[in-house]
Structures are given as C-alpha cells and as structure tokens.
Chain A
C-alpha cells in the first residue's frame, strides 16, 4: 500500500497547486508545526506565518505562507490561503520587501496582541530565510 496522499493548495484567485504523490506535509499550524502523514485523523486547523514543506517523490517543495486554513479529510489535504509564495521563485528583493512590510506592521503600536504576534512571526520567519 502506498504511503501517499493528495494535497491541494488554493488561494482566492486560483487553485495554486495540486499534487497527489505526497508523502509528508509539514505545516506551520497555529499551535506549532504539524507534520501530516497518510491516514492522519481528520483535522481542521489554521496557519500562522511560516513555511509549508511538501515532501514527495517528485521532489521537495517549500512555500512561504502568511495565513490560511488546513483541512485534512480522507487523505485529502486542503490548504486555503490568501498569501503564498514558492520559495524557489522568491528572490532576495522580494524577501526584503515582505520583511520590510512585516517589520512595519510589527512596529505599529495601535494593533492588538494577536496581530502583533502574527506580525512578529512573519518577521522571524522571513529573517531565517535570509
């Protein structure tokens, strides 16, 4: 029996990625990183800024996301996100842009704790990429 399952990433504009030979996906869930293998229990969770790692036969892929929802059911993993970038396509200047934006957001004083936390997360993740 194969140990593979299907993953689908959609953003509001289009279906971003569909792969059906995935062996493991690591997502930055809100309460910590979460590795998902085949036959995981059905779960719904949401994402904080971080890196999605997709491990598959045809090669590993890494994506940077800022938010989103994951749903895993019957060996179908759906990831809904509004901001996603393939790390392979992301050059330094793009990273710097995002980092600058995130830092600006994190330095705002009039935001609530949760958005502050999320902005800090963004800064942290983007810094580790450089």
Chain B
C-alpha cells in the first residue's frame, strides 16, 4: 500500500488537474455561446445563397454549357478533400471524428483507383493525417492567429480551391467538418462543393426570374462566392462544435477527477486510521507485558 505521504501528494495533484479542467470548461462554455451565436447568425446568408443558386440553376436554359463549377468537369478522376479540424487539442473526439469520417472516404476513393489530394485546415488534422496520407497532403492551412472564424479566411481557402480547380488539378471537391447539433452531439459531415450538389431540387418554385445581366454571367460570379460561403459556414459550425466538444470533454474530466479525489481520500483516511490503530495496539500490548 502506498504510504500516507504518497497518497497526500496524489490527492493534491489530482485536485490541481481538476482545477485546470474546470477552468477550461468554463472558458469553453463562454466561447461556445459566442460561437453558437455566430453560427446561427451565419445561417441565413448561406441559406439565401443556396436558394438563389437553386433558382438560377433551374432557370438556366443551356445545361450543356453551364459553368464547370456547377456541372463538373465531366469526369471524376481526382478528388480534393478539404479536412477542417481545430488548431487545439483537448476537445474530446472532435478531431478524431472528422478524421475517421475522412479516412473512410479516402479508403473508398483509393479503392476505386482514383487520385486523392488533401488540404488540411487546422493543425490537428494535419498531425493526424500526415502519418498515413502525408504524400497526399498538398496544402496545410492554419488560422491560429485569427481568434474567431471570419469570412476573410474562408474566402482565402475558397479562392485557393477555385484556382486549383481552374488549373485542372482536381474534378471533385469535398469538405469535411463537424456540424453542430448540440453541446453533446456533433455530426461529422462530408459535403461536396464542387461540382455543386443540388439536393432537394424538387421544391423549386415555378416562378421565372428576370436576370440582369444574363444567367451565365451571374452564375459564374455567384458560384465562386458560394464556395467561400459554404466553407465559411463549415468553419462556423466547426468552431461551435469544437467548443461544445471541449466543454463536454472537460466536464467529464472534472467529474472523473472528483471521483478520483474521493476514492483517494477514503484510502488516505483508512490507512491513517490503520496506522493509529497499529500504534495503539503496540502501546497497549507493550503496557500489558509490563
């Protein structure tokens, strides 16, 4: 059995760990509120943008000559995957969940004999992926300097993707991020952004629009913007998820530390009593023998 002194030290150490995790939980909770707010505020923009594009692509007359960002290059040989993770650790399964989702997608792509290129956003994703897919990672972006997700950063990623697309470096682009559902649930998502995947096309309106200038020009202006917008949305969702995930992870850690302190305290008290009892017995038996 560990000595009394050792137990005392362990209790102190677990207690200080508990303090740290508790503080981290508080910070994450405060940040979460802000991140969640901005994620919710950012939704109207991406939704509206999607709507406009939906209406536009339905109204387009000449589907053959539609911009490539919408209709694709006609082949699916090279896949670009943008894996969005956090820059910091200690946030539970947040990063591993995205990576797991991404990896299963990678395996599928490679099994089909297609080419794979990866862009990682956030250093944690890069750390986890470079061991196995190091040669596939073509770019690693990290926004450690910017405190909150902002549109400017998203635009940078978007522009880079478009540049590569126009240079013919890939045919299909998918982004991986965690969608924020609530504090304990974040759902890893794979969203295809190039070519645009129109889900739920059926609910389009019958109404026809007037376009000024013509559809093609509007579309070719709008599509790059839409990509940045989708990436921005993913960044917002991600940052809310990260804080949520960290909060519940730290909450768990605090609780576990508390349990451990209780257990160790009981053990400490027991051994203290045992030592006293032992001493008493020694004294009494010493006195009796006289």
How far apart sit A78 and B52, CA to CA, in the bound complex (Å)? 10
Q: Check B209 against A42 for contact (C-beta < 8 Å).
A: yes
Please, how many residues of chain A have a CB less than 8 angstroms from a CB on the other chain?
A: 23
Q: Check B41 against A13 for contact (C-beta < 8 Å).
A: yes
Q: Check B232 against A31 for contact (C-beta < 8 Å).
A: no
B residues in contact with A46, CB < 8 Å: 218, 221-222
CB-contact partner of A41 in B210, B213, B218, under 8 A = B210
Q: Check B52 against A71 for contact (C-beta < 8 Å).
A: yes
Q: Check A44 against B42 for contact (C-beta < 8 Å).
A: no
How far apart sit A29 and B217, CA to CA, in the bound complex (Å)? 13
CB-contact partner of A45 in B207, B211, B225, B232, under 8 A = B211
CB-contact partner of A44 in B45, B52, B205, under 8 A = B52
Residue-by-residue, is B133-177 near A (CB-CB < 8 Å gives 1, otherwise 0)? 000000000000000001100110000000000000000000000
B residues in contact with A14, CB < 8 Å: 38, 41-42
A59 within 8 A of B: no
How far apart sit A30 and B213, CA to CA, in the bound complex (Å)? 7
> Within A72-86, which residues are at the interface with B (CB < 8 Å)?
73, 78, 80, 82
How far apart sit A80 and B46, CA to CA, in the bound complex (Å)? 9
B residues in contact with A44, CB < 8 Å: 52, 55-56, 209-212, 218
Closest A residue to B46 by CB, please name it: A12
Residue-by-residue, is B226-269 near A (CB-CB < 8 Å gives 1, otherwise 0)? 00010010000000000000000000000000000000000000
CB-contact partner of A71 in B38, B45, B48, under 8 A = B48
Residue-by-residue, is A56-70 near B (CB-CB < 8 Å gives 1, otherwise 0)? 000000000000010
Q: Check A43 against B209 for contact (C-beta < 8 Å).
A: yes
Q: Which of A15, A29, A69 has the most CB of B within 10 A?
A: A69
**Does more than half of chain B's interface fall in helix, strand or loop, or is it mixed?**
helix
> Within A1-58, which residues are at the interface with B (CB < 8 Å)?
8, 10-15, 29-31, 34, 41-46
B66 within 8 A of A: no
CB-contact partner of B48 in A13, A43, A45, A80, under 8 A = A80
Cβ distance A35 to chain B, nearest Cβ, rounded Å: 13
Q: Check A12 against B213 for contact (C-beta < 8 Å).
A: no
Q: Check A15 against B44 for contact (C-beta < 8 Å).
A: yes
B residues in contact with A34, CB < 8 Å: 212
Residue-by-residue, is A76-99 near B (CB-CB < 8 Å gives 1, otherwise 0)? 001010100000000000000000
Q: A42-B207, A80-B52 are in contact. Are A15 and B41 (CB under 8 A)?
A: yes
B residues in contact with A71, CB < 8 Å: 48, 51-52, 55
How far apart sit A88 and B187, CA to CA, in the bound complex (Å)? 42
A residues in contact with B56, CB < 8 Å: 44
B residues in contact with A42, CB < 8 Å: 207-210
Closest B residue to A67 by CB, please name it: B225
Q: Check A10 against B45 for contact (C-beta < 8 Å).
A: yes
> Within B42-97, which residues are at the interface with A (CB < 8 Å)?
42, 44-46, 48-49, 51-52, 55-56
Q: Check A69 against B52 for contact (C-beta < 8 Å).
A: yes
Q: Check B211 against A43 for contact (C-beta < 8 Å).
A: yes
Q: Which 10 pairs across A and B sit closest by C-beta, in order of nearness?
A: A14-B41, A12-B151, A45-B212, A43-B210, A10-B45, A42-B209, A10-B44, A12-B45, A15-B44, A44-B209
Residues of chain B having any CB pair with chain A under 8 Å? 38, 41-42, 44-46, 48-49, 51-52, 55-56, 150-151, 154-155, 205, 207-213, 218, 221-222, 225, 229, 232
Instruction: Supply 10 A–B pairs (Cβ within 8 Å), ascending by A.
Output: A13-B151, A42-B208, A43-B210, A44-B210, A44-B218, A46-B221, A69-B218, A71-B48, A71-B55, A80-B49
Q: Please name 12 further chain A to chain B contacts, defined as beta carbons within 8 Å, in addition to the given A30-B212, A73-B209, sorted by A numbering.
A: A10-B44, A10-B45, A10-B48, A12-B46, A15-B44, A31-B213, A44-B218, A69-B52, A78-B52, A80-B45, A80-B52, A82-B225
